[in-house]
Amino acid sequence: MPTRVCCCCSALRPRYKRLVDNIFPEDPKDGLVKADMEKLTFYAVSAPEKLDRIGSYLAERLSRDVVRHRSGYVLIAMEALDQLLMACHSQSIKPFVESFLHMVAKLLESGEPKLQVLGTNSFVKFANIEEDTPSYHRRYDFFVSRFSAMCHSCDSDPETRTEIRIAGIRGIQGVVRKTVNDELRATIWEPQHMDKIVPSLLFNMQKIEEVDSRIGPPPSPSAADKAEENPAMLAENCFRELLGRATFGNMNNAVRPVFAHLDHHRLWDPNEFAVHCFKVIMYSIQAQYSHHVIQEILGHLDARKKDSPRVRAGIIQVLLEAVAIAAKGSIGPTVLEVFNTLLKHLRLSVEFEARDLQGESISSANLNTSSKDSDEKIVQNAIIQTIGFFGSNLPDYQRSEIMMFIMGKVPVFGTSTHTLDISQLGDLGTRRIQIMLLRSLLMVTSGYKAKTIVTALPGSFLDPLLSPSLMEDYELRQLVLEVMHNLMDRHDNRAKLRGIRIIPDVADLKIKREKICRQDTSFMKKNGQQLYRHIYLGCKEEDNVQKNYELLYTSLALITIELANEEVVIDLIRLAIALQDSAIINEDNLSMFHRCGIMALVAAYLNFVSQMIAVPAFCQHVSKVIEIRTMEAPYFLPEHIFRDKCMLPKSLEKHDKNLYFLTNKIAESLGGSGYSVERLSVPYVPQVTDEDRLSRRKSIVDTVSIQVDILPNSNPSDDVVSNTEEITFEALKKAVDTSGMEEQEKEKRRLVIERFQKAPFEEIAAQCESKANFLHDRLAQILELTIRPPPSPSGTLTITSGHAQYQSVPVYEMKFPDLCVY
C-alpha cells in the first residue's frame, strides 16, 4: 500500500507528483483511478515539458514496488505509462521514453514470469508507435539479450515456459520493428545481435513438426490469431518478418547464424528442419538477394567438406531446395560458381569412395566401408540431382555454357583436355567420375529444345561428347547416347520410340517432324560421318546389353526424324547394311547374342525407315524379310533375341539369303522412286581417327596400312617439283632427324582424315582419279613399262592391305600390296 502524505505536505509537492500519486488507489485490486488518470493525461499533453519528470517519478515508484513485490501497483504504474505513451506525440516524449524503457528493463530483470510478460507487452505497444523523429543514441542491446534469453526459457511448468517463450519472441519482434525501418539506425543487424536473435527464433521453430508449415502465402487472420498461442508458428512469422526487412548489406549477417545453429544442434542429418528453414528464408527475402543465400550455402559446403557423407548430403539437399526456389528469379553471378563447387564436391566424394575401397582390409572394416560407399552414393546422387534441376531451369544460352563447362570436366583416357584433377582417383575412380559427370550432363540437357541442331551440338561440344562413346564401358556409352537423344529430340518423339521392336504401323505413333532446314543439312554434311562411325562402332562392342541396342536404335530413328534428307537416308541404309554384313562376317569375334542383336537392330531400323520414307517396294522387301525371319529365324528379331532364354543358332553362315536385307533389292526399290542409289553400291567403312587410340579400344580399321594423301589444292605437278629437289647433306640430315617432323606428320594425317570426313564425295572421287593417273604415269616411267588405260574409266582402284581389301572411286584397276603412298 503506497505511503500517504498529509494535506500540508501534499500542497507543497509538485503538481505532477500529486497527479501521479492520485492514480494509485488505496487497494490495488481496485485498479487504476480513471478520473485521476484523465487529469494526469491532460496535464501531460498541456505541459509536455513535464513528461520527463512524470516518467522519472513513475519509474521511481515502480522500482520501489518491484523490489517490495507489490505486483498490483506495478500493474497500475505500467498501465499509466502505456496510456501516457499512447497519448503524447511530441519531441518531449524522448526523455519520457528513456524512463519508460528503464521501467520495462526493471520488469524484465525480475524473476517473476508475470512481470516479465507485463514488461514485454508494454515494450510491444511502444514498438508499434511511430515516432516523428528517430533517436539515434538509443540502443536496444539489453532488450535483445533479455528477449533472446526468454526464448530459451526452461521453466518447470509447461504453461509458464510457453508463456515466457512467446513473450520473448514477441519482444524480439518488437525490437525488429522498432529498429529495422531506419537505415541510419542499423545496429540490430550487427553480428553480435543476429547471433542471439536468429538462434532464439530457430530454437522455437524446431517445435514445428506437429504444426503445418506455411511456406508460400501469408497466414489468414484466424491462423495468425492461433499463431500467437504457438511459439513455433510465432517464431517463424517473426523470422519471416526479419528476413523480409533484410537488405543487400546485412543479408549475410542474418543467414550465417542459421548455419551455426544447424551445425551446433546437428540438424543436417536428418535435414528436414534445415530444408524447412531455408525454404522460409528463400520465400521471405527479396528475390534479387537469392544469390547471396546460395553463395552462403556453397561456402558452408566447402567448410564442411570433410564431414560425414550424410552431413554433406544434407547440405546439398538444402542447396537443391534453395536453387529450386531461386532458379526462376535472380541467380546473379553464381551460375558457374554453383556448378564448379558441386563438381568439385562430386570429385571429392568419388575420391573418398575410391580411397575407402582401396583401404578395406578386414571383414569389420568391409562392413564400415560398404556403409560409407552407400553414403557417398547418397552425396553423389544429391549433387547430380541439384546440378540437373539447376541446369534445367536456366535459360538456353546459359544452359549451353553449362553443358560445355561440364563436358570440359569429363576425363578421357590419353588426353589432358579436361580440367578436373583425377590424379588421386585411379582407374576405378576415374570411371566413376566419368559416369557421374555424364549423368549430370544428362540432367542438364533434359528438356533442352534448340531451333537448330547446330545450336544444340556445336563442334566444340560434339567432339568431346562422342569420345566416351567408344570407351570399353557399356554404361558410359549409354549415357552419351541418352545425352545425344536429349539434344536431338526437338519434337518429343523419343518416348514413342522407347524399346527396340518391329513397329507394324509407324503412322500410329504420330511422329512429329518438320522440314529439314538448311542449317541441319549443313550439320549432317559436316558431322554425319562422325555420327555414323560412332553408331557403327558402338554396335560392335562386345559388352553391349539390351539397353545399348535400344539406345542405338533410337539414335538412328531420331536422326531419321530430325535430320534426314534423301542423302542422309541413303547413308543410314548403307550403315544398316554394313552392320548386317559385319554381323555375318564377324571379323570382331562377337558372341552369337551380339551378332543376333545387331541383326535385330538392323531389322527394327529398316522397318522404321522404310515406313518413314513410304516407298512401297522398299516396305515390301523389308516386310517380306521380317516375315521369313519370324518363321525361320526369330532370333534375328528384337522381340525374340532380347527375351530371356532365347534359343540362339550355332552359326550364321548357312542361313538362306532370304533372311537378309539385300542391297540390290533395296537399290532397285529406291531407284524406282527417284532416289539416287549409286552410293548404295559403295560399302560403308568408318574412317580412322585419333579417338581409337585415345579411347582404349581397337578399331576395325587399325590394320589399314595405306594412307592416301588428299589435301586441298594439291596436284601432281607439285609432287614432281618436290621429287626433283636437290639432295644435299642438310637434306639428308633432316631426313634422318625425324623428331621435328612428327608434329607435321600428325597434322598431315589429321587433314587427311578431316578431308575424307567432310569433303563432298564427288571431289574426293575426282582427286583420287587424278592421283591414280599420276601414279600410273610415274610407275610407267620408273619400271619402263607400257600400260594402256582402259577405254573408259569404269574400273576401280583396288587397294590391298594385308588381309583387307577396299574398293573406292571409279579409276584404273591397279593393285599395290601393302603400299604406302604419300
Q: Residue 783: is its pLDDT beyond 70?
A: no
Scan for cell 516375315, then name that residue. Answer: 627
Q: How confident is the model at residue 210 (pLDDT cuts 50, 70, 90)?
A: very low
Question: Integer distance in angstroms from the first to the last C-alpha of the chain?
Answer: 120
Contact yes or no for 120/147 (Cβ under 8 A): yes
In this prediction, residues 637-645 reach a mean pLDDT of: 87
Lowest-pLDDT choice from 62-71, 350-359, 360-369, 438-447 = 360-369
Q: What pLDDT, on the 0 to 100 scale, is given for residue 182?
A: 58
User: What is the secondary structure of 418-477 as a DSSP string?
Assistant: --S--TTTHHHHHHHHHHHHHHHHHHHHTT---SSHHHHS-HHHHHHHHGGGGSS-HHHH
Grid coordinates belonging to 361: 582390409
Question: pLDDT tens digits for 469-499?
Answer: 778 889 999 999 999 999 999 999 999 998 8
Which ranges of 289-362 would DSSP assign to H, the alpha helix? Answer: 290-303, 309-326, 335-359
Long-range contacts of 506-510 (CB under 8 A, 24+ apart): 506/608, 506/611, 506/612, 507/611
Least confident of 117-131, 370-384, 461-475, 708-722: 708-722
pLDDT for residue 789 is more than 80: no
pLDDT tens profile 232-248: 999 999 999 999 988 88
Please state the rounded mean pLDDT for residues 453-466.
89
CA dist., res. 571 & res. 527, Å (int)? 13
Asked if 752 contacts 707 with a C-beta cutoff of 8 angstroms, the reply is yes
DSSP at 808 = E
Long-range interactions of 746-751: CB distance < 8 A, separation 24+: 748/709, 748/711, 749/707, 750/690, 751/711
Percentage of residues of the chain with pLDDT beyond 90? 33
pLDDT at 723: 40
More confident residue, 334 or 495: 495
Q: Let me know: does 565 contact 518? Beta carbons within 8 Å.
A: no
Q: List Cβ neighbours of 214 (8 Å cut-off, separation of 6 or more).
A: 223
Give yes or no for a contact between 780 and 786, defined as CB atoms under 8 angstroms apart. yes
Going by pLDDT thresholds of 50, 70 and 90, the confidence category of residue 522 is: very high
Which pLDDT band holds residue 358 (cuts at 50, 70, 90)?
A: low
Eight-state DSSP code of residue 550 = H
Question: For residue 257, what pLDDT is reported?
Answer: 95
Contact criterion met (CB below 8 Å) for 588 and 700: yes
pLDDT at 362 over 70: no
pLDDT of residue 10: 53
Query: Is residue 686 within 8 Å of residue 533, measured between CB atoms?
Result: yes
- Give the up-direction half-sphere exposure of residue 325: CA atoms within 13 A in the CB hemisphere: 25
Cα separation, 204 vs 198, in Å, equals 10
Give the angle subtended at the CA of 405 by the CAs of 401 and 407, to the nearest 5°.
Answer: 115
Mean pLDDT value across residues 310-321? 92
Mean of per-residue pLDDT scores for the chain:
78
**What is the C-alpha to C-alpha distance for residues 659 and 637, in angstroms, rounded to an integer?**
11
Rounded Cα distance, 748 and 752, in Å:
6
pLDDT at 477: 93
In 3D space, the residue among 500, 585, 569 whose CA is nearest the CA of residue 532 turns out to be 569
**Of 702 and 748, which is predicted with more confidence?**
748
- What letter represents residue 792's amino acid? S
Q: How far is CA 560 from CA 573, 579, 586, in A?
A: 10, 17, 27
Q: What confidence category does residue 328 fall into, taking pLDDT thresholds of 50, 70 and 90?
A: low
Give residue 552's pLDDT.
96
Q: Assign 362 to helix, strand or coil.
A: coil
* 423: CB partners within 8 A, 6+ apart: none
Lowest mean per-residue pLDDT among 569-573, 717-721, 753-757, 764-768: 717-721
Say what the pLDDT of residue 236 is.
94
Contact present, 750 and 709 (Cβ < 8 Å):
no
Nearest of 401, 458, 410 to residue 432 by alpha carbon? 410
Model pLDDT for residues 96-150, shown as the tens digit of each residue: 777 788 888 888 988 788 889 988 988 888 888 776 656 666 778 899 999 999 9
Grid cell listed for 490: 526437338
Measure Cα distances from 365 to 359, 362, 368, 424 in Å.
Answer: 9, 5, 5, 21
pLDDT of residue 17: 81
Identify whether the C-beta of residue 62 lies closer than 8 Å to the C-beta of residue 28: no
The rounded distance, in Å, linking the Cα atoms of 493 and 485 is 10
pLDDT-derived band at 261, boundaries 50, 70, 90 = very high
User: For residue 93, what pLDDT is reported?
Assistant: 65
pLDDT at 73: 82
- Within 10 Å of residue 295's Cβ, how many Cβ atoms? 19
Q: What is the dihedral of CA 586, 591, 592, 598, to 10 degrees?
A: -60
Look at residue 207 and tell me whether its pLDDT is greater than 90: no
3-state helix, strand, coil in the chain (%, to 5): 65, 0, 30
33-79 tens-digit pLDDT: 888 888 888 887 787 777 778 878 887 888 888 888 888 888 888 88
Whether 312 and 357 have beta carbons less than 8 Å apart is answered as no
> Given this model, what pLDDT does residue 151 score?
93
Digit-coded pLDDT (tens) for 161-184: 999 999 999 999 998 888 876 554
pLDDT of residue 442 exceeding 60: yes
> 37 is written with which cell numbers?
488518470
**Residue matched to cell numbers 594402256:** 788
Please state, in angstroms and rounded to a whole number, the distance separating the CA atoms of residues 49 and 36. Answer: 20
What pLDDT was estimated at residue 790?
46
Spatial CA neighbour of 708 closest among 798, 577, 578? 798
Question: Residue 349 in contact with residue 356, Cβ under 8 Å?
Answer: no
What is the SS3 assignment for 738-792?
A: CHHHHHHHHHHHHHHHHHHHHCCHHHHHHHHHHHHHHHHHHHHHHHCCCCCCCCC
Listed residue (524, 477, 502) closest to 636, CA to CA: 502
What is the chain's Cα-based Rg? 42
Other residues' Cβ atoms within 10 Å of the Cβ of residue 483: 26
Euclidean distance between CA atoms 198 and 243, whole angstroms: 10
pLDDT at 616 over 80: yes
Using DSSP bridges, classify how beta strands 796-801 and 804-810 pair: parallel, antiparallel or unpaired.
antiparallel
Share of the chain above pLDDT 70, in %: 73
**pLDDT on residue 91:** 54
CB neighbourhood size of 325 (10 A): 18
pLDDT beyond 90 at 338: no
* Residues 401 and 395 sit within 8 Å (Cβ to Cβ): no
